[in-house]
Structure 1
């Protein structure tokens, strides 16, 4: 938390998202999307760490062994969302990347760390018609192709579901970190 670290993004109306965020590569917020060079506290996004770029590329390559239609990408945006045990995120689409990235269906790679999340996804914003899957710590989810434009959200965080060794070694606060990687 603090300057250059996690912050709670919000709208001009004063409403805040029910999560904390930190961006690498490019800043994103619900008002300006990727248009603003600096975020609300004036800090510029640091570069995406190369070790994480390598992890994402390996994850995509491993997935391509099962489905060769998954496109490769070089992630230049890394958004970290932290959800407390009461955190949520409504149904939305990730469609603020460049038209070229969206047209190619370049994937979004999502890595879960910490507490499990009830993750909803579907063809529209109606959460009652959405499918649901439990994302546990260390799960990797890849949105690509047609699924790239799916509506999705975090319905609930499952308290006390993080692996105990992770908590002991990392001192992670109760909640869930979601690491998402994309190419602008």
Structure 2
């Protein structure tokens, strides 16, 4: 039996097929308004192998000049990001255990040869909120470790409809995608994998609004 690091939860097949289809349709609408773009690493400008976009009041972006950051507008169109679909807000309410809604939903599209190196999600102001991740489409080999690069890692397969939560002691766990398994799902018409990552970015206001 696979034992995951503390605070890391894997919920297989959490989203039923009908919900997956509805979310994919919502993502298509998001991409029409906020087109996929290729992010680049800070300093080196090396392009990542995924294409991405966002929805929510804030979106995560990166480029050579300004590095990792959140901003309220699309880096190419200058338009505000579309809102987060209600189905994803419902999911957050169900699994996050956090009283405030997410502000950002990163949409990553993985072609069959795409990868994501081990990294931490640490560009947010409040680590009390978890990171909630949804897999749609082809399977992937997901790797998760400890809160330092020296810690050991565990790898397991994520399938369409799976949900992973990084919270508590696992909020800053290193994680990444080692490979995609092509043609393992018929959810996406042209294949590939979509990963949706819901995050709270800012600290909630203290006291009454």
TM (normalized to structure 2)?
A: 0.70
Is 1:116 equivalent to 2:139 in the alignment? yes
What secondary structure sits across from 1:40 in the alignment?
A: coil
Could you list the runs of 5+ residues in structure 1 that have no partner in the other structure?
Answer: 61-69
Q: Distance in 2 between matches of 1:134 and 1:22?
A: 24
Match of 1:8 among 28, 34, 38: 38
Could you list the runs of 5+ residues in structure 2 that have no partner in the other structure?
Answer: 1-30, 202-209
Task: Please say if residues 9 and 29 of structure 1, whose CA atoms lie closer than 8 Å, have aligned partners that are also in contact.
Answer: yes
Q: Distance in 1 between matches of 2:103 and 2:72?
A: 14
- Number of the residue aligned with 1:29: 61
- Number of the residue aligned with 1:180: 197
Q: Distance in 2 between matches of 1:27 and 1:55?
A: 19
Is 1:81 equivalent to 2:108 in the alignment? yes
Q: Distance in 2 between matches of 1:19 and 1:126?
A: 26
Q: How many residues align?
A: 163
Match of 2:170 among 124, 147, 161: 147
Match of 1:137 among 150, 154, 160: 160
